[in-house]
A = this chain, B = another copy of it.
């Protein structure tokens, strides 16, 4: 079995064999558990079964480990946003909202990454690689906004795509930070963070003149009752992007 070699490497030898990766995984678990602030270099070392000094062979200091995690986080984040955007299929607005949901899903499902990326207080702009990774992730949102802006109803002033992207980002980040994570997420909401963000984005898009009179923010995947492009006659869609007030 391939059990032998790996286990022996991992357990017995003087050399760990893959300490860097083991430390990253350990740190990820610890951050998910206790937050980036509570995470400890020594703990990660202990969890990997090495002495407290060993990590310094692979990371300059604790901050560099944190940065590495944030870096990976931004990469995975970018991948998920890219997948969610799916190049604007089946239609731009649907895909755009999917990106928003992917943002929240990432914050929910990868709390450790999200924490390292946005809540650890590490200086993102001090690390060029990190900044670049963050930029690449944001560029997905930006590209999506670009496509959306190009679709602005004729006769209306075209909204600047960059501004739209920043708006969407701030909405997603605001909802994720306030309502979609461990601590403050306990605030009792009349709706789920996903629904909250979806409604927010829909209202915002309507404010830009986009037709958003599609399905209400229900969880079921219904076939779209009408083709995505609607006449812009009445600015007010029938359903409205919010449910009945409970």
Binding site for B on A (CB under 8 A): 35-37, 118-119, 121-125, 153, 155-160, 162-163, 166-167, 169-175, 177-179, 183-184, 186-187, 189-191, 196-197, 199-200, 202-209, 232-236, 240, 242, 245
Flag if B169 contacts A178 (CB, 8 Å).
Answer: yes
Complex Cα distance A167/B179, Å? 11
CB contact between A183 and one of B121, B186, B190 (< 8 Å): that residue: B121
Complex Cα distance A124/B178, Å? 11
CB contact between A184 and one of B125, B166, B203, B208 (< 8 Å): that residue: B125
Complex Cα distance A183/B175, Å? 20
Complex Cα distance A197/B204, Å? 12
Complex Cα distance A211/B90, Å? 32
CB contact between A167 and one of B166, B183, B200 (< 8 Å): that residue: B200
Query: Max chain B CB contacts within 10 Å: which of A153, A172, A177?
Result: A177
How many Å from the CB of A144 to the closest CB on chain B? Answer: 17
Flag if A173 contacts B184 (CB, 8 Å).
Answer: no
Complex Cα distance A90/B135, Å? 41
How many Å from the CB of A140 to the closest CB on chain B? Answer: 16
Flag if B204 contacts A242 (CB, 8 Å).
Answer: no
Residues of chain B with a CB closer than 8 A to A122's CB: 183
Flag if B209 contacts A163 (CB, 8 Å).
Answer: no
Residues of chain B with a CB closer than 8 A to A209's CB: 235-236
Query: Max chain B CB contacts within 10 Å: which of A37, A158, A163?
Result: A163
How many Å from the CB of A142 to the closest CB on chain B? Answer: 12
Flag if B190 contacts A160 (CB, 8 Å).
Answer: yes
Residues of chain B with a CB closer than 8 A to A167's CB: 171, 196, 199-200, 203
